[in-house]
Amino acid sequence: MSNDNTATPKPSASPAATLSRRDFIKTAGAAASAAAVTATVLGRPGLSLAQAPPKTVTLAFVGCAHIHAPGYINLLAKRPDVKVKYCWDHDAARGARRAKELNTKFVPGLGDIWSDREVSAVVICSETNRHHDLVLAAAGAKKHMFVEKPLGITAVESAAMASAIDKAGLLFTTGYFMRTQPVHLFLKDQVAGGVFGKITRARGSNCHSGSLGDWFGTEWRWMADPKIAGVGAFGDLGTHSLDILMWLLGDVASVTADIKVVTGRYGDCDETGEALLRFKSGVIGTLAAGWVDVDNPVSLLISGTEAHAAIVRDKLYFTTKSVKGADGQSPWTDLPAALPAPLDQFVDAVAGKTGLPLVTPREAAARVSVMEAAYKSAGARAWVEPA
């Protein structure tokens, strides 16, 4: 997509559907990339590149606790170029169940995974409070890693993980799937191209009714325990919208927030919150997230001196005089194609594909730092700078 402010839009195309968190949980497995990795085959006359078998990526699944684990298992099962050699979880019963779904071997210890040279990468879907030890061990064993968000419990441990991954020269990404959606890709281009002029304010909102519907009352109960998950509802959902805001607008200078319990279904676990963000660029941002909302019609809003954008019920309304047809009256449909899911991108990168927009370890750590500051500010009733 060109960033030329005066360019006439291409003929409208049907926008790819964007996913809510609930939709992502249900359908992540069905969204596997259709593009196979091409391998160069030598010494086999008559076999063209188009017919070449893809390079097999051998992985291990390390921890199966996260609510997205079933979707990731389904996604990997759709890829003929993936071999999951081991599955581990500290909960042996859960690990054995997931190993059966992965059609692989459950191992009660991690030694086999770290020492096996055939295993080039790991997918870490453990409870968040186990990420630090697992990531450092994976870095020490030189395993590329996909780590479910958030990266860590605190800014300090997240920074340590990011440093270890970078020092080891490993591939990394995390589950910030909103970056793959056409509406966000379009806005990324427009912001980078200066179409908005001076951006004055932005608002991200990511809310659902998970607490009202007791989504976390069964095997996912740990996700509503901040001592294990690191955060409650505000951090769990808010990290996705925070990532989009920071991806578009840059680093956050300071934050203040109000975060609270509503129903008490999960004890003292927070269920909703709102934060005010001061970006280093001067933009004023707000972030809403929670598990007690029956609707979330406006997920993103960006306002600048030259343009305005709002995503309303997954449709983009875009207003600017510099782009023909962008009057904000009807959904803007001239959007780029969706990117592959983050886990698909990760597998492709491990297989050797370059130029993929993976989330960096430093980016993942920065989101934890801002979210930690938001929780601290809610307790202190003050502005807090991220660590």
Q: pLDDT tens digits, residue range 236-285?
A: 999 999 999 999 999 999 999 999 999 999 999 999 999 999 999 999 99
- Per residue in 20-42, pLDDT (tens digit) is 444 433 333 333 333 333 333 23
Cβ–Cβ under 8 Å, residues 90 and 106: no
Nearest to 230 by CA among 163, 342, 153: 153
Q: What is the structure's pLDDT at 235? A: 98
pTM above 0.95, yes or no: no
- Pairing type for strands 307-312 and 272-279 reads unpaired
Q: Give the pLDDT mean for 70-76.
A: 97
Name the pLDDT band for 55 (thresholds 50, 70, 90): confident
Chain region(s) in the chain for CATH 3.40.50.720: 32-173
Non-local (6+) Cβ contacts of 381 within 8 A are 256
Query: Where do the CATH 3.30.360.10 domains begin and end in the chain?
Result: 177-339+358-380
- pLDDT at position 249: 98
Note the CATH architecture for domain 32-173: 3-Layer(aba) Sandwich (3.40)
pLDDT score recorded for residue 15 = 35
Question: Does 161 have pLDDT greater than 60?
Answer: yes
Contact 274, 203 (CB under 8 A): no
Q: Residue 42 CB: number of other CB atoms within 10 A? A: 5
Residue with tokens 């050797």: 352
Tokens representing 306 are 């030259």
Peptide bond into 9 cis (omega under 30): no
Tokens read off for 60 = 């291990």
The average pLDDT across 9-17 equals: 35
Q: CATH number for the 177-339+358-380 domain, one of 3.30.360.10, 3.40.640.10, 3.20.20.70, 3.40.50.2300?
A: 3.30.360.10
Q: Are 149 and 234 in contact (CB under 8 A)?
A: no
- Evaluate whether 3 touches 190 at the Cβ level (below 8 Å): yes
* Dihedral over Cα of 180, 181, 183, 184: its sign: negative
Which residue has better confidence, 3 or 282? 282
Section 62-73 average pLDDT:
97
Give the chain's mean pLDDT. Answer: 89
* Tokens representing residue 208 in the block: 């659902």
Question: DSSP H helical segments within the chain, as ranges?
Answer: 21-27, 69-77, 92-102, 111-115, 131-140, 155-168, 182-192, 226-229, 233-249, 342-350, 361-380
Amino acid letter at 262?
V
Mean of pLDDT values over 126-155:
98
Name the pLDDT band for 144 (thresholds 50, 70, 90). very high
Q: pLDDT tier at 54 (50, 70, 90 boundaries)? A: low
Looking at the chain, the whole-number percentage of residues with pLDDT higher than 70 is 86
Beta bridge partners of 59: 84, 121
Phi, psi of 90 (to 5 degrees): -65, -25
Tokens encoding 296: 């979330």
In the structure, what pLDDT confidence band is assigned to residue 53 with cuts at 50, 70 and 90? low
The SS3 call for residue 335 is coil
